[in-house]
Every structure is written in C-alpha cells, then in structure tokens.
Chain A
Amino acid sequence: MGKHVAAAGLAALAVAALAGCGTQAGGAEGGDASEGTTTLTVFAAASLKGSFEDLAGQFEAAHDGVDVQLSFAGSSDLVAQVQQGAPADVVASADTATMDKLVADDLVAAPQDFATNTLEIAVPPGNPAGVETLADLADPDVALVLCAPAVPCGAASAEVEEAAGLDLRPVSEEQSVTDVLGKVIAGEADAGLVYVTDVAAAGDDVEGVEFPESADAVNTYPIATVPHEAADATQDDLAREFVDLVLSDDGQQTLAGFGFAAP
C-alpha cells in the first residue's frame, strides 16, 4: 500500500513537472503577445559577453518593448546552432572563418567587421614563473596552456608561434579561451595565450603580458543578420538596427571599453 502511494505520488510529481515545463514555455510566448514586446535573439561569440550585454542594454533602452535575448557560445558552436536552425536574428562571431561557413550556407546576409582582438599572455597574479616575453613560453619549466589549434584562439596562437619561430610545448590544449583563462586563474598553468579582452574582463584574477608578436595574428569579428524565411520585415529591420548600433560610434566606444580595437 505504502509503495503504491509513493509510486502514485512520484507519477503525480513527474506529470506536474512536465506540465510545469509546458506552461512556462507557453507563458513566455503568451506574455510577449499580450504586452506587445518583441524579442530579438542575438548569438554572439563567448568573448563578446560583457560588451554585448552592455550593447543589448543600450538597445533595449532605445527601443521600447524590445527584449534582446543574448546567447553566448564558442564561435564553432554558434555556427553549428545556426546551421541546425536555431532562432537567431543576429550572429556575431569571433573570426571570419566561422562566419564564412554561414555565408557559404546562405544563412546570413552580408557580414560586416566590427572589432578586432589580439592575443596577450595571461599569467596568475604575481607572475610566479616570471614570464616577460613570448619566448619565455618555450621554457619547459613554464606550464603553458593554449587553445587547441582547431579553435580560433588556437589558430591565432599557432600563427604567432610560427611567426616568432618558436616551438611551444603546452601541457594542455583547451577547447576555448575561457578554459585557458580558467586554468591560469586557478594557478594550474603558469601562462596561457588569451585575448586582450579576456585579460581585461578577468580583472585582478590574472595579469597580462603584452608581446609585440601579437600583431601577427589579429582576429577580426564579423556581425551579420539572419534573414527570416517568412518575410518578417519588422524583425529583419530590428536585427539591422542592432547591427547598426554595434557599428555606430557609441557601439564602438562600448567595445573599446572592453578592450576591443576597431576593425
């Protein structure tokens, strides 16, 4: 008997949970319609988190009833998501190569470059391994962490390494620049190659060591709108307005505040 009651209770809970999921999703949509708000979905590279949150706030302030939904992921993930039909209105990626894939698939309209980013050495506070130059990273006693060559920041690291004629032996090749930064912040690594903006965003958790060779690998960030099949003109206009904001003087100033350089 007791077991039956428990089982029935569990079943009821499961049903309630499922129903809860349904109502939640439905409720959000219903709310949008009744209050007359529009949602603009922006997919952006992980490194744009701080700056795009700021820009989205500016956009919402200037557009009454518009809610900007931001989704951040690694650039390759972004591309895969958009290719699989994720409901993005605007896509901003961290390198032109990933954006080119979307252009090749005819999924985005005319990308425009809106920012650049360069590499910087990130070291834990106090720089325990005494890293001063790019060449110091080749020291076998320095536990170096890089991005894997398959991801944009790793490709940039490889370019810098080749241009400098160095042979870097990382202890780990991470999936994303956030993972590299995490290993440096945790003190597991003595040094890592990340973007200037990542060092800026990490605040006191890491120290940055600039190096002149970083000019050999400048990452350009393109942004593009995702045209809607059902000729949703207002949504397309809104998407274009967001892109215009990013490219405007105000937008560029915001980006500069987060360490990005102009394209």
Chain B
Amino acid sequence: MTRTEQRTETAVGLPRWAFVPAAVGGLFVVLPLVAMATRVDWSSYWSLVTSESARAALVLSLQTSAASTAACLVLGVPMALVLARSRFPGIDLARSLVMVPLVLPPVVGGIALLYTFGRRGLLGETLQVAGVQIAFSTAAVVLAQTFVALPFLVTSLEGALRTAGARYEVVAASLGARPTTVLRRVTLPLVWPGLLSGAVLSFARALGEFGATITFAGSLQGVTRTLPLEIYLQRETDPDAAVALSLLLVVVAVLVIAATRRGRSPL
C-alpha cells in the first residue's frame, strides 16, 4: 500500500490541473458545513442540543443505527461472500438487485417497506397474526435503516473480497481446512479493513436515514423520531435548534469516520 503511494508521488506525479477541480470539489463539500456552523447560536448551543427531545432523538439514533449495522453485518457478510465467491445463474442480476436501495430515493424505499411490513402489506397480515406489530415501532426504524444501509456493506466487502482474491483460501483448503475455518481464519482477517469500512458506511448511512423512516416508521419522540426527523421537525418552529442539532449530527458522523480511520491506519 505505502510502496505504491511512494511510487506515484516520486515517479509519476499528478498533473497540476487535477488540483483545481479537486480543490473546488473539496470546497463544495466543506463550505456548506462551514456556512451552517456560522449560523449556530453558540450561546444557547448546549441547552439546544441537551433538550429532552434532542437527547431522546440522539439516543434513539445511536441505538437504531447500531442495531441496523448489526443487522447489516449478519445479512450483508454472507451476501458479499456469496456474490464474490460463488457462481450461479443470475448472479449478475442478484448483484444488481442488491444495489437497488442505493439508487432508490429513500421515500420510495419507505413506501416499498410499507407495502411489505405494513399492516396491510405483503407480510404484514401474517406478522399481525403472529402478534408482531411493526408499524410505528422502533423496529420499523431499524428495518428502514437496514434496508438503505445494507448495500454499502455488501459493496465494500464484495470489493475487498475480489481484491484479496482466493489464493490463500485455496491454500488453506488444500491443507485440509474446512470452509468455515477458512472463512474465519483466512478470508475475514484478509478483508478486515473492507469489512470495517463497510460497517462504518452502513452506520453512517443509518444515522442519516430520513426518507424511508418518515414514510414507513412515523415520527414519535423516543420511539421513532430519530435525529434527522427531529431536525426536520424543529425547523418548523425553532430554526436555531435545527441548526444546532444538524451540527451535532455532523460531529457524530465525523467522530465515527475518524475513529475508523485510526483503526485502519496500522493496516
């Protein structure tokens, strides 16, 4: 990794013109965040982000995002393994379908979930008979977040698996290791950085989830009103609180990304 970087810097270099659009792109991302920070009413910032509704929203956001990241890992790791390491007819179609939530407007995802898990949905009636009520519950938030976040984990991990290749796995298998042992001792340690970044992306996507949640789960303090929903609602009456909470969400997101960057650097 470092060797390649050095070679690029010394031998090839970067065309100078590339820095201009790169800088414009960087500004394009950073400037809105700076603009928002300038609008924050710092004297009341602390009281705004520690209000009862704000705390409830933050706690709910962190809990549901953690739960949906766990769900993404449980479902997404096997999905990525299957897509990267097995062959079956229609695998290209399967790969495309997995990506659908990524390109779908989240509201559409919410509507689709509603028609699946809603009271009158495809599975809703069966679930209701079984005594499971998903509509307007925290579980609905986790479902919505998992739906939109899953492709991030699957794509990152599948990419990592393809890059790593199957050489070491073949060696391990030829030495008599069972598939599960190969997976645990060879494959997963090899793709650990990809898995980690996939999990972080999923968490970040879940944290920012808005459209599918508001469409599918509803909005009630402490139950379904996550931080993005709280921000959207606060905008109605108290724009200062909305800006303060937005900055809080940015800070949480940056912390999450920074934490994993540090975790990855030794690799």
Contacts and interface: CB of A to CB of B under 8 A. Distances in A.
Interface of A: 74, 76, 80, 143, 145, 148, 150-151, 170-175, 179, 182-183, 186-188
A172 B236 contact: no
Q: Is the interface of B mostly helix, strand, loop or mixed?
A: loop
B114 A143 contact: no
A189 to B, nearest CB: 8
Interface string B200-232: 000000000000001101111100110000001
The 6 tightest CB contacts between A and B, nearest first, are A172-B218, A171-B136, A150-B236, A187-B120, A76-B236, A150-B237
Interface residues of B, number: 22
B218 A145 contact: yes
B233 interface: yes
Contacts of B95: none
B118 interface: yes
B119 interface: yes
Contacts of B234: 150
A179 B120 contact: no
A76 B235 CA distance: 8
A150 B218 contact: no
A148 B239 CA distance: 16
Contacts of A151: 233, 236
Which of B118, B218, B220 is most buried by chain A, counting CB atoms within 10 A of its CB?
Answer: B218
A182 B115 CA distance: 12
Contacts of A175: 214, 219, 232-233, 236
A102 to B, nearest CB: 15
A173 B235 contact: no
Contacts of A76: 235-237
Contacts of A172: 136, 217-220, 224
B218 A187 contact: no
B233 A148 contact: yes
Contact of A183 (B218, B232, B239): B218
Given A172-B220, A174-B214, 6 more contacts: A74-B236, A150-B237, A173-B220, A175-B219, A187-B118, A188-B119
Contacts of B217: 172
9 contacts: A148-B219, A172-B218, A172-B219, A174-B218, A174-B219, A175-B232, A175-B236, A188-B136, A188-B218
A150 B241 CA distance: 13
Given A150-B233, A175-B232, A188 B118 contact: yes
A145 B233 CA distance: 16
